[in-house]
A and B are shown apart, each in its own frame.
Chain A
Amino acid sequence: MTIPVADLRNDIRFLFGNEEHSLRDIDPQMTVLNWLRLSARKTGTKEGCGEGDCGACTVVLGEPDGKGSMRYRTVNACIQFMPTLDGKQLLTVEHLKSDGGNLHPVQQAMVDTHGSQCGFCTPGFVMSLYQLWLDGGEDDRGAINDALAGNLCRCTGYGPIIEAARKAGGISAKDPVEQKRRVDISARLNAMVDDAPMLALETPVGRYFAPRSSDALADLLVAHPDATVLAGGTDVGLWVTKMLKRLDPIIYIGDVADLKSVREQGGVLTIGAGVTYSDAHDALGLIAADVGELVRRIGSRQIRNAGTVGGNIANGSPIGDTPPALIALGARIVLRMGNVRREVALEDFFVTYGKQDRARGEFVQSVIVPKPTAGTQFKAYKISKRFDQDITAVLAAFSIRVEDGKVTEFRAAFGGMAGTPMRAKQCEAAVIGQDWDEASLTLAQQALSRDFAPMSDMRASKEYRMLVAQNLLTKLYIETTVPEIATRLVGREAAYV
């Protein structure tokens, strides 16, 4: 370990509303929700599922935007660990009423539209609406859907809540009072942690480190090769809340500044492993509309605000919404251990179910995504029981280039068809060099059944998985040959870009 102890800090510093908190000796894997409800006794924030899916625990996190002001995002308090609040402002439903006791405009709108029935999901909705309000408000139904996709309501049918979102409006970023408030908060947060040493909790029940640079991260991982690497916690959080695991030590990469950048150079996009889906969305959407739509449909706003592209790769899910698309695009990843870096093709990183090509002490540093060259078409399809906030049953991503009627390039990658996200190499081979016609489509579909032997589970049967995967080749064929035919129920805008 190269970091001297003097350069470590053992208290979590954050603003709870406007109140400065400094917590020591807290279990590093205590969730924000449990702290709120059990320690702070603020019980407005509810637990509905404990897995970041229902949104009843939605809180707003504020953090300095790097430009002297603040940015605000919603997260699920039930799977967020307390130390990740370090340097941030935590806002809950209790903070919204004015000092005089008046309801906040989003709260008033919810009351006026009859937006609550049983009321249990309501605080979570209020916080998602509050985040929308802080961002200036929203009138568009699609944007409201997106903002609320991570909040489940079983009573209202959502109509009154959508109406409340519109009715509440938003605050202008140019509002002088609000502007000053944000500048002040940002300055306070910066003063609390900017020049402070790295957060390193050593408690009787576990240790937690939050390095600020990837060099420090690399050193820590060499020293603690079996540490749990925590990024957004949208997967790791469930190891604690559902599997009741003890994680020790935890190394959090959310504060590693140099892992949080998205760079584009020479037609290649480099995404740091700590970049959230939300922050990667715009850049990925520019690669191809379908990639943007795919990212939009990952989890919910709360999940995308926390979860990272790097984490999605490193955790090796057999479905992994971004990996099949990235594989089809020919993405590579950079892994680092100590000072040694290596690059591997993304498809080679996934060895088999539950096993990735990552050594002890090694971490995913970045993802390198080449943009498709002109004339190459990219299509991605996500099949799930529900359009928003659902884990994929089958994901198909295709990169295809047709010249003079012949397929010159074809990369087909699938999720949910095998133990890992995987290329369909026989399917690709059946098409490359052939005329792009119904005959080669049929060959490609036949080859798919040799590429994969999917399994049945709660998301889909093996028969459906194979059938729909083959049909998605048909869809690709139609979209690339007769684009005027309607083929999409959602993300149609995307399909016609």
Chain B
Amino acid sequence: MSRTPSQLVDQKEPGELMAPTPGLLGGVRSPSKHDSGPKHVTGEAVYIDDILEPFGTLHLAPGAATIAHGKIVKMDLSKVRSAPGVVCVLTADDVPGVNDVSPAHTHDDPVLPDGIVQFYGQPVFCVAAETREQARNAAKLAHIEYEELPAVLSTEEALEKQQFVAPPHVMAQGDAVSALARAKHRRSSKMEIGGQDHFYLEGQITFAIPQEDGDVLLHCSTQHPSEVQHNIANVLGRPANAVTVEVRRMGGGFGGKETQASQWAALSAIVAVKTGRPAKMRLDRDDDMVMTGKRHDFIVEYDVGFDDDGRICGLDIQYATNCGFSADLSAAICDRAMFHTDNAYYLGDVEIRSYRCKTNLVSNTAFRGFGGPQGMVAIERIIDEIALTLGRDPLDVRIANYYGINDRNTTPYHMTVEDNVLAELTDEIVTSSDYRKRRADIAAFNADSPVIKRGLSITPVKFGISFTTSFLNQAGALIHIYQDGSVHLNHGGTEMGQGLFIKVAQVVAEEFQIDLDRIKITATNTGKVPNTSATAASSGADMNGMAARDAAITIKNRLIAFAAEKYGVAEAAIRFVPGRVMIGDVADVEFADLVKQAYLARVSLSATGYYATPKIHYDRETASGRPFYYFAYGIACSEVMIDTLTGENKVTRVDICHDVGRSLNPAIDRGQIEGGFIQGMGWLTSEELWWNDAGQLRTHAPSTYKIPACSDRPEDFRINIWNPGRNVEKSIHRSKAVGEPPLMLAISVHRAIADAIASIGDGKVIPMLDTPATPEAVLYAVAGVAKGMIARHHDTIVAAGE
């Protein structure tokens, strides 16, 4: 079936909301403020470390390994145990159940290592003391002797030794080898992509409170309460029903609290159960950065063939990924990098290989984008190389490679792209950013400016929405209406700042047609909604919004049936309008009144809701299927300046046009776009992870690891939520997920820096710019282009001499 792009965005179903419902405070599409906003600004919002501690609370601190790989031959903790305030010291022997918190059941993530240390800084023991200061002081007193084993500290070495945490994986379409052989032009190169620390402002923390029967309640800063629950039950050797996990809010997550919360939760749970005292483990920032996983760093090697128009006609690409010492979520993350090798482009004949390398470094984990960003960075550099090789504008090469609507629309994993809005987004950004004219202006500026160079780039984003592990695409919710008509809302999603709670509450407000302030948003709790998936993959609002809506509809239908019977009207004649329920032309009652009447008539006012994403399926054996329900799209135009003497760089202007479908909350969505972009910009510019030769991370605090600061936000930053946006799939109110996709808009910054560097070589030498584009990386790329120019000049002279 063929559809034109405008049909894709303009269709409207009966009853579909284009704007907020008049008279309703805080329904969908309204820019409702973050529910915790007033509490954030007064300091009244309670984070886990703010919970009033019961008498007797113990505080935990980890003791860290000081080698990257080796056997523990002696661990003398006597001084630790006898230090002031110390109540108990845990080692691997103290784990009552299974000593493992691996998220994908790979059994390679010990709570505390049993004999073998696998990375520098790995916690090898844990101290519980009366105060946190005492615990931290005591942890310094251990005497540990190791027998060092060879440590693999680089991805290259792991690849060479074929040391993997998961088997290599291949994805292919057509025949890349012969396509490359046939290609008129061909380029091959290598790119290094750096990792990224999450730098959530609230570090990892769990507060464990012992319950009767040896059960435990965990206040845990985690995106995945169910996983923490199941892991901790295993660690304690207890059934899952012995452990309850509650999360009211996190001080940021970004993927770093998906699997990485379990270890600290496990340690505090063990102490709580063992001592019968509440136990809190809050990592110091430096320990947090050393001991928890980060965004994966990649080495990408590629060989691309293309025609005179810059159209890719064959691609062979290989990812070698530093997964660290254990598998964690690396397999799925590496898969997602493969899924996003195409970004917005039809690759035709392609082979994608992925190696999941095992190193003696901290185990890398989920981070906003989940591998997608790394895949996209590589293809965007490839596109720029093609453009420079052919002397064409990079934007034109991008457009030439975009997925088609009716043809050239199958991905390397054999899914048809059905919701492509790239052409419209591109038209809009080219106009709104005045791209063509600014390119000319910049060329003129650069011609006259020997030291400072400017660069400009437009890059698109197409990001697949759904967990690629299909069974994870399910969610649950629980709604109660009390006799006064006030609503208690609960669901499996967690609030890490992204505005999930307010969005879901808006969905419920819309369904019941009641003002938002009638709905109490409550902490995520495994005792209320069980077996949830992580709040991850941008899926929070999509899935929990649907589940909550399902619960609301269940109750609403009961109210309708009750009212229809009581007032003797047809069910179809009953309408919920703001604050009231119209019962045909017989009655018009306040929502709260109807609720009270229903209660008195013994109608259940509590319901669970459930949602499973439709349409998706994926066969990993053949690397084909439809892993994504739909795609989220966006496009950005970034302008930068670089200093060619120092490599310093600065983003001066950014224009964004992003598709959020029909926004559930444009204010929240805008915040996600802007924040995601800046976070991506940090990843690609100033955020650099640096290990010394011993495998010790030396950038383990904000003094050495530089996330964007206020002045790094571009002076001129124009964010446009794409107005015609609409999800062609039946997502919650036709909105689109927005958590991760905007991060990748920042790739335009990296490409703009490369563009500025290329100007030194008059666009004839390709800058080999890796990520992050620190001053050092930029200066080397500048030097590379300058050398290339000398070489070209030399070639010309030689050619002339012949």
What residue in chain B is nearest A128 (Cβ atoms)? B710
Does B609 sit within 8 A of A, measured CB to CB?
no
Bound CA–CA A159/B654 (angstroms): 13
Instruction: Tell me which residues across on chain B come within 8 A of A103, comparing CB atoms.
Output: 38, 41-42
Q: Judging by beta carbons under 8 Å apart, are B41 and A110 in contact? A: yes
Q: Is A236 an interface residue (CB 8 A)?
A: no
Is A117 touching B646 in the complex (CB atoms < 8 A)?
Answer: no
Q: What's the nearest-Cβ distance from chain A to residue B142, in Å?
A: 14
Asked if B710 and A149 sit within 8 Å, CB to CB, the answer is: yes
Chain A residues lying within 8 Å of B252, measured Cβ to Cβ, are 118, 120, 154-155
- Interchain nearest-CB distance for A472 vs B (Å): 7
**In the assembly, what is the distance between CA of A366 and CA of B254, in Å?**
47
Mark interface residues in A361-398 (1 if CB within 8 Å of B CB, else 0): 00000000000000000000101111111110100000
A155-B38 CB under 8 A given contacts A468-B775, A478-B451, A489-B650: no
Given A51-B285, A114-B33, does the pair A388, B711 have CB atoms closer than 8 Å? yes
- A96 to B241 CA separation, bound complex (whole angstroms): 43
Q: How would residues 220 to 258 of chain A score, 1 for a CB under 8 Å from any chain B CB and 0 otherwise?
A: 000000000000000000000010100000000000000
Contact of B712 among A50, A161, A387 (CB under 8 A): A387
Q: Is the CB of A458 within 8 A of B699?
A: yes
Q: Are A94 and B42 in contact (CB under 8 A)?
A: yes
Q: How far is the CB of A438 from chain B (nearest CB, A)?
A: 13
CA–CA, A46 to B45, complex, Å? 11
In B696-721, the 8 Å CB interface with A consists of 698-699, 701-704, 706-713, 715, 717
The answer to whether B775 and A383 have CB atoms under 8 Å apart is yes
- Contacts A119-B45, A122-B41, A490-B650; A152 near B202 (Cβ below 8 A): no
User: Pick the contact of B706 from A120, A390, A487 — CB < 8 Å?
Assistant: A390
- Measured in the bound complex, the distance between the Cα atoms of B670 and A112 in whole Å is 14
Assess the A386–B41 pair: CB atoms within 8 A.
Answer: no
Residue A326 interfacial (CB < 8 Å) = no
Q: Indicate the member of B203, B286, B699, B775 with the most A CB atoms within 10 Å.
A: B775
Report the minimal beta-carbon distance from B362 to chain A, rounded to whole angstroms: 16
Q: Is B168 an interface residue (CB 8 A)?
A: no
Q: Chain A's interface: helix, strand, loop or mixed, by majority?
A: loop
CA–CA, A48 and B709, complex, Å: 15
Which residues of B have CB within 8 Å of A155? 252, 497-498, 671, 675
User: Is the beta-carbon distance between A53 and B451 smaller than 8 angstroms?
Assistant: no
Partner of B43, one of A92, A391, A393, A457: A92
Say whether B451 contacts A152, CB under 8 Å. Answer: no
For B457, the chain A residues whose CB sits under 8 A away are: none
Q: Is the CB of A114 within 8 A of B451?
A: no
A152 to B49, CA, bound (A): 19
State which size class the interface on B falls in.
35 or more
Q: A120-B201, A154-B707, A383-B648 are in contact. Are A51 and B41 (CB under 8 A)?
A: no
Chain A, residues 92-113, CB within 8 Å of chain B (1/0): the string is 1110110000010011101110
Q: Indicate with 1 or 0, residue by residue over A437-461, a CB within 8 angstroms of chain B CB atoms.
A: 0000000000000000000011111
A488 to B452, CA, bound (A): 7
Q: Contacts A107-B41, A468-B647, A485-B450 given; indicate if A386 touches B675 (C-beta within 8 A).
A: no
CB contacts (< 8 Å) of B648 on chain A: these are: 383, 387, 489
A43-B43 CB under 8 A given contacts A154-B679, A156-B674, A459-B704: yes
B451 lies within 8 A of A387 (CB): no
- Stretch from A140-148, A192-200, A263-271, A335-343 at the B interface: A140-148
For residue B504, CB closer than 8 A to chain A, the reply is no
B630 interfacial contact with A, CB 8 Å:
no
CB distance from B553 to the nearest CB of A (A): 30
Indicate if A158 sits at the interface (CB-CB under 8 A). yes
**How far does the Cβ of A320 sit from chain B's closest Cβ, in whole Å?**
15
Contact at B717–A145, with CB atoms within 8 Å?
no
Chain A interface residue count, Cβ-Cβ cutoff 8 angstroms? 89
Known A44-B44, A114-B671, A120-B47; contact A158-B686, beta-carbon cutoff 8 A: no
Among B34, B50, B645, B713, which residue has its beta carbon within 8 angstroms of that of A114? B34
Instruction: Give which listed residue, B198, B642, B698, B707, contacts A152 with CB less than 8 A.
Output: B707
Q: Considering residues B250, B712, B780, which has the most beta carbons from chain A within 10 angstroms of its beta carbon?
A: B712
Which residue in chain B gives the minimum CB-CB distance to A141? B715
Give the contacting residue for A93; candidates B43, B140, B199; CB below 8 A: B43
Interface contact B451-A487, CB-CB below 8 Å: yes
The answer on a CB contact under 8 Å between B497 and A474 is no
A103 to B43, CA, bound (A): 12
Which A307-336 residues sit within 8 Å CB-CB of chain B? none
Q: Is the CB of A154 within 8 A of B199?
A: yes
A49 interfacial by beta-carbon distance below 8 Å: yes
Contact indicator per residue, chain A 465-479, by CB within 8 Å of chain B (1) or not (0)? 001100110110010
Is A464 part of the contact surface with B, judged by Cβ < 8 Å?
yes
Tally of A-B Cβ pairs under 8 angstroms:
270
Residue from A154, A159, A383, A458 within 8 A of B201 (CB atoms): A154
Within 8 A of A (CB), among B626-649: 641-643, 645-649
Contact B202 A244 (CB under 8 A): no
Q: In residues 53-100 of chain A, which contact B (Cβ within 8 Å)?
A: 53-54, 56, 92-94, 96-97
Q: Tell me whether B250 and A111 are in contact (CB under 8 A).
A: no
Contact A97 B202, CB 8 Å, known A117-B675, A144-B710, A460-B776: no
Q: B794: which A residues are within 8 A, CB to CB?
A: none
The answer to whether A458 touches B690 (Cβ under 8 A) is yes
Q: Is B571 in contact with chain A by the CB < 8 A criterion?
A: no
Inter-chain contact A458/B704, CB cutoff 8 Å = yes
Q: Is A176 an interface residue (CB 8 A)?
A: no
Is B39 at the interface (CB under 8 A from chain A)?
yes
Question: Which A residues are in CB contact (< 8 Å) with B451?
Answer: 475, 478, 485-487
Contact (Cβ within 8 A) A242 B710: no
* Shortest Cβ distance from B201 into A: residue: A120
> Mask for B19-54, Cβ within 8 A of A = 1, else 0?
000000000000101101111111111110110100
Is A93 touching B645 in the complex (CB atoms < 8 A)? Answer: no
Please tell me if A116 contacts chain B, counting CB pairs below 8 Å.
yes
Task: Tell whether A121 is near chain B: CB-to-CB under 8 Å.
Answer: yes
**Which of A51, A117, A242, A383 meets B671, CB within 8 Å?**
A117
A389 and B497 in contact (CB under 8 A), knowing A114-B668, A126-B41, A159-B717? no
What's the least CB distance linking B190 to chain A, in Å? 19
Q: Please, how many angstroms separate the alpha-carbon atoms of A457 and B692 in the complex?
A: 8
Contact A117 B34 (CB under 8 A): yes
- Most central of B34, B44, B671 by chain A CB within 10 Å: B671
| Shortest Cβ distance from residue A33 to the other chain B in the assembled complex, whole angstroms | 11
A174 CB within 8 Å of chain B: no
Bound-state CA distance A459–B40 (Å) is 34
Asked if B81 is an interface residue, CB under 8 A from chain A, the answer is no
Contact present for A119 and B52 (CB under 8 Å): no
- Inside 8 A of A126's CB, which chain B residues have their CB? 41, 43
Cα-based distance from A145 to B253 in the complex (angstroms): 25
Q: Does A278 contact B (CB under 8 A)?
A: no
Instruction: Decide yes or no whether A276 CB sits under 8 A from chain B.
Output: no
- CA gap between A97 and B38 in the complex, in Å: 11
Known: A467-B779, A474-B645. A50 touches B285 (CB 8 A): yes
Contact check, A118 vs B710: say whether CB atoms are below 8 A apart: no
Residue of A146, A387, A393 with most chain B CB atoms under a 10 A cut-off: A387
Whether B701 and A475, one on each chain, are in contact in the complex, defined by CB atoms closer than 8 angstroms, is: no
Using Cβ atoms and an 8 Å threshold, which residues of chain B touch A93?
A: 41-43
**A-B contact sample (10 more), CB < 8 A, given A120-B202, A387-B648, A489-B648:** A43-B50, A51-B285, A93-B42, A93-B43, A96-B42, A117-B671, A156-B674, A386-B686, A388-B710, A485-B450
Which residues on B are within 8 Å of A, measured CB to CB? 31, 33-34, 36-47, 49-50, 52, 133, 136-137, 140, 198-203, 249-254, 284-286, 449-452, 496-499, 641-643, 645-650, 667-668, 670-671, 674-679, 686, 688, 690, 698-699, 701-704, 706-713, 715, 717, 774-776, 779-780, 783
List 12 A-B pairs, Cβ < 8 Å: A111-B41, A116-B40, A118-B252, A152-B702, A155-B497, A157-B675, A158-B710, A160-B671, A390-B706, A457-B690, A458-B704, A489-B642
The 4 closest A-B pairs by CB, nearest first: A44-B43, A118-B497, A120-B251, A119-B40
